[in-house]
Structure 1
Amino acid sequence: MVSDLSRRSALFGLGTGLCGLGAVRAIRPDDVTDSQSRTNSALDWPMARYDAAGTGYNPDAAGPKDGARVKWEREPDGFSGGTESPILLGDTLYATGQRLLALDAETGETRFGHEGSYWSSPARAAAEAYDTDTLAVSTRRTVAGLNADGGVRLFDREFGVERWRGPRPKSALSFLTSVPPVAVGGTVYAVIPGTGQVVALDASSGRELWRRSPGDGLQRLAVRNGRVFAVHWPYRATAYDADTGERLWRTDLEEQMVLPPTATGEGVLVPDRTGLTLLDADDGSVRWRADHDGNATEGAAAVADGAAYVQSNASEDSLHALDLETGEERWSAAVGREGTPVVADGVVYARDHNDLVALDADDGTVRWRYDSRLPLSTPAVGDGVLYAVAHGRIVALEEKR
């Protein structure tokens, strides 16, 4: 007669074996390519600021235009510290904090949660070796690759959730901020927390493809057309070849404090404390600079339909719309908090203290305001819905009827 312990051991071995067989796959020529994803949808918002370039604009997405109401609101058990932008993959919304949470985008119900301390938005990457995508996310000390489907749970234990951990700094210290990774196909581009180092990692294994050391104070990277653009304190912007890590150019800017870049067809936008600079993507030369007389210490520019949108933390009008080709100001509006706007279907969404405000992209007129009680993260945009996180609370806003 088989004992209960032996039966449990056998089931345990069988379950974990099946988990491995179901998660890992052999690569075949007809499989999904690096540039695709098994959860790919036109309405996905697969990383912070939508894409690897950091534009904050999905031309297929739309949010509430003429008014907003709460579609659903959740404060999941054990979810705290969340302030980073969520991401949307198909009908699943992912949010990070003291846990990784996967929610039903339609209802807000929790699909699965994974314990851990995650300090950035995740980025979806196509993992060739698996049947499911990898979510790359920064922790206090490294970058982790997680199973986008959450793995399996056997006997109150989780298996197959964490696939890999990237390189760590030599110091044992933990760091208070982490930079969100970005992903292009099957490659993750990330900043190693607490270092001045940029790495390219394989999304399936976490294997290091290349590493460079631009300098301290690195911000979220921007990747476009085979180039990785990095900025860091003081003054500096640098471009690398996305495949090899070869440095292509390095440019010094006017301000010491430089903020996350946005890569566009016109060049690379680099905000700083008092203005916005457009650099040529090929050689790093300055194409134009626009001063807004602000005092910005965070936030990045969004780009849509030939315009750049940036918040300046100025005493008066602090959301600026600039012509992307010339740098001339199209309009400015009174939005009283620095941050990172996003754009969808002719509407600019920006944080204004505890409000989320929607402005007309053509002239800056305010369409609606929503008082969130606490500052919301930069939102993700889906099919008529905005999703945002605020310190343990997750909210979905839809058109007010």
Structure 2
Amino acid sequence: MIRRLWAAVAVLILAVPLTGPAAAAPASTWPQVGSDAGRSYYNANEDAVNASTVSKLKLRWQVPPSPSECPGMVGPVVAGGLTLTQDTAGLVARESATGRLAWRDTGIFTDRLAYHIVVSGTTVVVASSDSLCMIEGGDADGLVVAFDLASGRQLWQRSPNTDAAQLVVTRGVVIVSGNDYATSPNVEAYRLSDGTSLWSNEDPDGPRTLFSTVPVLGDVLISMHRQMETWRVDAVTGQPRGGWSASWTPLASYGDWMFVGDSSDWSLKAVRLSTDAVVWSMDRVSNRVATDGRRLYLGVGSVLEAYDVASGKRIWSVDLGGRVGQPVRAGGLVYAPVAGKPVAVRNASTGVKVTPSSALSKVSTVAAVGGGRLFGTTASGLGVFGL
């Protein structure tokens, strides 16, 4: 069965700027894990780091790994020239160019487990468990907190009746649900601008949760567990808009395309959202998916593959010699983690190998690419590489 991915990229603790100049770059843009609400893992706006420049990247600054597992570490999220992580230093915003501290919140996130960080416009939304790393047991009541991106000033805070393990921000609405059945989880929606409660989808006879954190044209999918049904619900009003197959797990979407894993026949399907039509289906399921709206990139075993979105025809395929992780697409390149090896870099159109800078030889996973910078995880923590 296809497993939903709720785990975030693990990072880090205190920024340690390195000596040497950092090239000026436009504002980075990777406002949440997966780059966007569709989890496309694609940055359409990046062009500075490309096939001709990736060999020139240098380590500009880094964030060492945390010495402990609690609190959980989330990020990086990159927006407005800032890089945000949640670690044992709290919720931290650092200047993307230099790693210098811009602001830090320690009032809430010093020892709490943050599940997600999402930037929408000038607002940072963080969903967190209210239990102190859940080390004391009991109900995992959640928190949803919004901050001003530039200053770190807290804008609003809400305590939903859920552990807030799932978060969707779409159409100016913040929607949360959870997995802790001790709190009879429900789905709650708040207005992004001021935290006003918009709607709540709860059932006294059984839990209701977000079926997926990938929106469907601005709607959200809600599971009614007792009824064993899944519904498509308007994100702004909370009103049902129709059913959704419980065997369809959204993997990624971009533009008019959504890719779902169908557990009923173990297939991957391409759905055109404007018509709700399945355009093609293939017996090649993977939850390691990225898409730029033209091609679909899959990690399947040790193979990285690219398919034409419109037809489902395979364009190229390369065996990378180890289990392939989550691909990232930006600047005409595809970055793919490979078990036991440095991150692989391939031409997005052809699959041809691109040789990166030696500075990336210790990078195992590319967490984000934007604003002329590559954010990669290494044994030494999060490295920020620039031109």
Q: TM-score, structure 1 length as denominator?
A: 0.68
Alignment of 1:2-401 (within 5 A): 43-62=28-47, 63=49, 65=51, 66-67=54-55, 68-75=57-64, 84-98=74-88, 99-115=90-106, 116=109, 117-126=112-121, 133-140=122-129, 141-149=141-149, 160-161=153-154, 163-169=156-162, 178-179=165-166, 181-184=167-170, 186-194=172-180, 197-212=186-201, 218=210, 220-223=212-215, 225-229=217-221, 238-252=231-245, 258=249, 260-271=250-261, 275-281=267-273, 284-292=276-284, 296=286, 299-312=287-300, 314=301, 316-317=302-303, 319-335=304-320, 336-337=322-323, 339-353=325-339, 355-368=342-355, 370-372=360-362, 376=365, 379-389=367-377, 393-399=381-387
1:343-378 per-position Cα deviation (integer Å, ceiling 9, x unaligned)? 1121112222353222111122232463447x54x5
Q: Distance in 2 between matches of 1:398 and 1:368?
A: 16
The alpha carbon displacement at 1:324 in A equals 1.3
Change (3 A) 1:220 1:328: same
Contact 2:62 2:381 in 1 (8 A): yes
Q: Distance in 1 between matches of 2:78 and 2:155?
A: 20
Change (3 A) 1:381 1:191: farther
Aligned-partner residue type, residue 323 of structure 1: D
Partner-residue secondary structure (3-state), 1:252: coil
Q: Distance in 2 between matches of 1:390 and 1:82?
A: 17
More strand by share: 2
Aligned-partner residue type, residue 385 of structure 2: L
1:288-340 per-position Cα deviation (integer Å, ceiling 9, x unaligned)? 22222x6x5xx45322141112223x2x42x2212112222222233544543
Partner-residue secondary structure (3-state), 1:168: coil
Aligned-CA RMSD value: 3.8
The alpha carbon displacement at 1:64 in A equals 5.1
The alpha carbon displacement at 1:231 in A equals 8.1
Q: Distance in 2 between matches of 1:188 and 1:325?
A: 32
- 1:157 is aligned to none
Change (3 A) 1:109 1:143: same
1:46-103 per-position Cα deviation (integer Å, ceiling 9, x unaligned)? 2222222322222211435343442222228889666544111221111123421111
Change (3 A) 1:395 1:242: same
Aligned-partner residue type, residue 277 of structure 1: K
Q: Distance in 2 between matches of 1:199 and 1:124?
A: 19
Contact 1:270 1:277 in 2 (8 A): yes
Contact 2:362 2:379 in 1 (8 A): no
Q: Identity of counterpart residues, as a percentage?
A: 21
Change (3 A) 1:151 1:254: closer
Q: TM-score, structure 2 length as denominator?
A: 0.70
Q: Distance in 1 between matches of 2:229 and 2:327?
A: 23
Partner-residue secondary structure (3-state), 1:261: strand
**Is the radius of gyration larger for structure 1 or structure 2?**
1
Q: Distance in 1 between matches of 2:104 and 2:68?
A: 9
Change (3 A) 1:230 1:359: farther
Contact 1:85 1:388 in 2 (8 A): no
Structure 1: unaligned runs, 5 residues or longer: 1-40, 127-132, 153-159
Change (3 A) 1:112 1:77: farther
Contact 1:114 1:150 in 2 (8 A): no
Structure 2: unaligned runs, 5 residues or longer: 1-25, 130-140
Aligned residues: 327
The alpha carbon displacement at 1:201 in A equals 1.6
Aligned-partner residue type, residue 308 of structure 1: L
Aligned-partner residue type, residue 96 of structure 1: Q
Q: Distance in 1 between matches of 2:240 and 2:275?
A: 11
Contact 1:266 1:324 in 2 (8 A): no
Q: Distance in 1 between matches of 2:289 and 2:202?
A: 24
Change (3 A) 1:288 1:254: farther
1:250-295 per-position Cα deviation (integer Å, ceiling 9, x unaligned)? 343668xx4x532334432124685422234357553322222x6x
- 1:33 is aligned to none
1:216-267 per-position Cα deviation (integer Å, ceiling 9, x unaligned)? 785652235432356899x986532222222323343668xx4x53233443
